[in-house]
Chain A
Amino acid sequence: MSATRTLVSPAVLARPRGKAVYWAVFTGVVVLFALAFLFPVYWMVTGATKSPDEVARTPPTLVPQTWHLSGYTDAWDLMQLPTHLWNTVVQATGAWAFQLVFCTAAAYALSKLRPAFGKVVLGGILATLMVPAQALVVPKYLTVADLGLLNDPLAIWLPAVANAFNLYLLKRFFDQIPRDVLEAAEIDGAGRLRTLWSIVLPMSRPVLGVVSIFALVAVWQDFLWPLMVFSDTDKQPISVALVQLSQNIQLTVLIAAMVIASIPMVAMFLVFQRHIIAGISAGGSKG
């Protein structure tokens, strides 16, 4: 039991009536959460295993009468899910790697190397936070087209580096590392890159974890930008492919594909839930 006092006082909760109300509210919240957040997911996962007749039946069956795995296997084959999943993996991990390398290097330079006009550069970077990304997709698209990057994963990777939020997160973390530590390394003969690699980065594991998760999730969940830059079906990530193919495919197969598309991020969330939830709670309350 946590000792912190909240809205309702522990004395009230200890009384029989307080206890009854508490458990009634608790049960209500469990039921509400199960219906609102878990049931839709259950409906999706089981819907994909129903037969095409059963999924269209009214009233619907709560549990599939017969379990067909053919929905999943058909989705895998007919919708070329391996190709689209692989494209998504390539786009997401590339964006993550580019962001880690270039944002970390830039944040380190701005934080510790005292570049001339560093304040101006930082101001320019922070100013992009004021410009909502989605509103600039069209001129960004034209620039990517001019560079000949359409249908190329670089169209995801390079713009991902221009992420002021992650860069600022890294810079603020680096700011907290005392200069003495770095100067000690320099006296020992370590170069700038060596200092970054073997002193700064090992100290920055928590923030690197948060930035990594943000970077991966952002690319995996994105829709409008990949829709614009990948007109070539074979290059499309799963989010775009799902929507493009959703028109002409059997419902059970589409639902199965939706489940498969959700698995990687949901699995990552369940594995790293503590870190992710802590990261959001901390990030939100401190801006």
Chain B
Amino acid sequence: MQAPPPAGDRRRRRLADQARAYGFLLGGLVCFALFSWYPAIRAVVIAFQKYTPGSDPQWVGTANFTRVFADPEFAAAWRNTLAFTLLALLIGFAIPFVLALVLNELRHAKAFFRVVVYLPVMIPPVVSALLWKWFYDPGTGLANEALRFLHLPTSNWSNGADTALVSLVVVATWANLGGTVLIYLAALQSIPGELYEAAELDGANLLQRVRHVTIPQTRFVILMLMLLQIIATMQVFTEPFVITGGGPENATVTVLYLIYKYAFLYNDFGGACALSVLLLALLGLFSAAYLRLTRSEGDV
């Protein structure tokens, strides 16, 4: 063993170590500060200001919030966003789970199914949206052609005030369910086979086995994906922007779309930030629940 170096030396070395560590951290820290931490603070500040790029911001108290609340589009946007989230849960939640259940039983062409179900996820969302906009065309679109082929009445799809929102949910589900199916499949494969055997010996039929073995065993993944899906669908923008432009009659304006309109159409950044703060507050609740869930499960 060598004699320990004198105290001053050690301190200098420790300082040099720290400098080096922060040298490695610097680039990342600057980016997080500029593009994550500062914007989060700034959203709250600007929500209480009249803000026009290029001129000095003025404090206006809660005027942005009252103006935004009074906007008839505000209620429509929240109603649509919540309806979109709920419909996406109804349509987009059971389907991937059932698909994964069935796929997990198939012994052939496993790789083929996984590739095909994930293919739409790899198509750029803008392309999916434009593709379905074409399918939904009331005259020559594939959707109405299919209905005519089956001798069913045609629909206005994304062009009708009643059907527009559901039509968009179908697009979002089609484009995104591949990832969900793959995650469910991974979860299903981790269920020990003995549990099914034991349930079968106890006389459980197929549905009872799903209810008493499969669902309890995948409960954590189901809950996690549900929260992630809620967080993602509450920020929906591309589909309404590309397919319907928020119409018809504001039937598909979402909160994020309204934020975009306030900032880039009305040049009202105060209003946009007031809306952002409201959306953040709500989504923050779901995010916190999600993180809590994954953390506590990760510790086990």
Give CA–CA (A40, B119) in the complex, Å: 11
Q: How many residues of B contact A (CB 8 A)?
A: 108
Q: Which residues of B contact A187 (CB under 8 A)?
A: none
Contact A277 B114, beta carbon cutoff 8 Å: yes
Complex: A36 Cα to B182 Cα, angstroms: 17
B126: CB under 8 A from chain A?
yes
The secondary structure that dominates the B interface is: helix
* B-side contacts of A266, CB under 8 Å: 119, 122-123
**B58 contacts which chain A residues (CB < 8 A)?**
none
- Is residue A284 within 8 Å, beta carbon to beta carbon, of the partner chain? yes
Nearest A residue to B260 by beta-carbon distance?
A224
Q: How far is the CA of A285 from the CA of B130 in the complex (A)?
A: 32
The minimal Cβ–Cβ distance linking B230 to chain A, given in whole angstroms, is 11
- The interface residues of chain A lying within 8 Å CB-to-CB of B35 are 140, 143-144, 158-159, 161-162
A100-108, A176-184, A204-212: which one contacts chain B?
Answer: A100-108
Contact B18 A116 (CB under 8 A): yes
Q: Which residues of B contact A202 (CB under 8 A)?
A: none
Neighbouring B residues of A114 by C-beta, 8 Å: 17, 21
- Given A102-B27, A134-B237, A143-B38, residue A115 in contact with residue B291 (CB < 8 A): no
Closest to A40 in B: B131
Known A113-B20, A223-B125, A242-B126; judge A7-B214 contact (CB<8 A): yes
- The segment from B60-68, B72-80, B273-281 that touches chain A is B273-281
Binds A, one of B4-12, B82-90, B160-168, B193-201: B193-201
Q: Which residue of A lies closest to B242 (CB)?
A: A243
Task: Say if the beta carbon of B115 comes within 8 Å of chain A.
Answer: yes
**Given A220-B124, A282-B186, does the pair A135, B279 have CB atoms closer than 8 Å?**
yes
A33 touches B214 (CB 8 A): no
**Chain B residue with the shortest CB-CB distance to A9:** B200
Query: How many chain A residues have a CB neighbour from B under 8 Å?
Result: 105
Residues on A with beta carbons closer than 8 Å to the beta carbon of B94:
none
Query: How many residue pairs between the two chains, A and B, have CB atoms under 8 Å in the bound complex?
Result: 301
Instruction: Tell me the residues in window 141-166 of chain A with beta carbons closer than 8 Å to chain B beta carbons.
Output: 141-145, 147, 158-159, 161-162, 164
Cα A282 to Cα B190 with chains together (Å): 11
- Are A159's CB and B31's CB within 8 A? yes
Q: Which residues of A contact B200 (CB under 8 A)?
A: 9
Give the 4 A-B residue pairs with the shortest CB-CB distance, closest first: A5-B193, A106-B28, A284-B183, A281-B186
Can you list 30 pairs linking A and B with CB atoms under 8 Å apart? A4-B189, A5-B197, A22-B107, A29-B102, A34-B116, A60-B140, A102-B28, A106-B24, A110-B25, A116-B21, A130-B291, A135-B283, A136-B280, A138-B263, A143-B35, A162-B28, A162-B31, A217-B122, A221-B125, A223-B126, A223-B237, A224-B237, A242-B127, A262-B122, A265-B123, A265-B124, A281-B183, A284-B179, A285-B186, A287-B224
Besides the contacts A136-B280, A228-B260, A284-B187, what 9 more A-B pairs have beta carbons closer than 8 Å? A7-B209, A58-B139, A58-B140, A106-B25, A135-B283, A136-B40, A265-B124, A269-B119, A270-B115
